[in-house]
Structure 1
């Protein structure tokens, strides 16, 4: 994680991400710009974050280590969104790991200094409520899709969501658990995608060879705009 001293970029991300509209108190001058490389951690598991982060650009994953030592995938984040809001609200909350999937740019506000002010800022609290409602809606949609669509569609969407630079590196054991399918079933669909030329095996990873085909499968799960998911995925690295 690097502190970036680029005032023009900081101002651009503040304006473009809608950050300043999240607060009624003065936070801009105290907001730092941080760069997190792909694979690095925004929040380390078990370590209380020192900042409230606002992901202005990039994608990240949330995961936790279970008592048996297994790592469990929990969720994925895409800009713009807050990270660390649970620890802001509840200081006793046990932080889970938030890891950058790709290069991430975060706007960061010192948590200790601003906690009391933020928890009394109606605009900020409203912003958090809206974010939580959207997250809940997304989880409901995800649950419905898990029950209604075959693994081919869901896995296509997952690959596009978690890839970095057109390379997929997730562990099969974690993904099979996250998606609620057997390890064998997951391998079967990966083998199918490889045979059909969507993916190419490269050691423990897969190179995406036909992103449009995967996006077409994934977009079938979107009953609203069948093209929106494709557009979002194909522009995810911009």
Structure 2
């Protein structure tokens, strides 16, 4: 039984969305390794996804190859709610940045039950409202704050055990900046004693300063 595979805390995530009464046959537990996609932009998204363990990043790619990072999703976060309501293809991609455990709920089997569930719909309205507010904040911060702030926020959210590891060429493309500018920014952070370059990546020397520079980007 699917529910027997869930901890009490994980069952509570379902309850929080008013989904505790769903037929267990309609639930599917899935795991993804770090770097795997839960779904990709432009594909049909046929299930609602609730994160149980791990973290994902959600972003979109423009036709010119530039990307826009929307947010990071932690346990309890839901994805696919927009596509459930609109029937559209996925407008973004979700990639696991740690190992991820999640529950899938099929649209085909559960659409009527989901859309007639008042508690679920109220919760989805709240989630969508929070997304609109945070997107507005992030949009303003993108204009008003420098690249260094976005980079620090990203490092803070994706580092593991105090070490930031990333392919810098891909990271530069992800942020839509030049590789040279990325290296200069990382070098400046090292000079400020926020980071320290090592063979493993970049060690976080001053986490408080890193978060201060990074402000509140990419919150869900």
TM-score, normalised to structure 2, is 0.78
Question: Taking CA–CA contacts closer than 8 Å with sequence separation of 6 or more, which of the two structures ends up with the larger relative contact order?
Answer: 2
Report the 3-state secondary structure (helix = DSSP H, G, I; strand = E; otherwise coil) of the residue aligned with 2:201.
strand
The number of residues matched between the two structures is 212
| Residue in structure 2 matching 1:120, options 109, 116, 129 | 116
Q: Following the alignment from structure 1 to structure 2, what is the Cα–Cα distance between the partners of residues 74 and 111? A: 26
State the Cα distance separating 1:101 from its structure 2 match.
Answer: 1.0
State the Cα distance separating 1:42 from its structure 2 match.
Answer: 0.9
State the Cα distance separating 1:96 from its structure 2 match.
Answer: 3.2
State the Cα distance separating 1:156 from its structure 2 match.
Answer: 1.3
Match of 1:77 in 2: 72
| Residue in structure 2 matching 1:167, options 137, 158, 164 | 164
Work out whether 1:52 is the aligned partner of 2:48.
yes
State the Cα distance separating 1:41 from its structure 2 match.
Answer: 1.1
Q: Following the alignment from structure 1 to structure 2, what is the Cα–Cα distance between the partners of residues 6 and 198? A: 44
Report the 3-state secondary structure (helix = DSSP H, G, I; strand = E; otherwise coil) of the residue aligned with 1:157.
helix
TM-score, normalised to structure 1, is 0.73
Q: Following the alignment from structure 1 to structure 2, what is the Cα–Cα distance between the partners of residues 65 and 144? A: 20
The answer to whether the 8 A contact 1:43-1:49 is kept is: yes
The runs of 5 or more residues in structure 1 that have no matched partner are 223-228, 234-238
The runs of 5 or more residues in structure 2 that have no matched partner are none
Q: Following the alignment from structure 1 to structure 2, what is the Cα–Cα distance between the partners of residues 148 and 92? A: 32
Work out whether 1:38 is the aligned partner of 2:28.
no
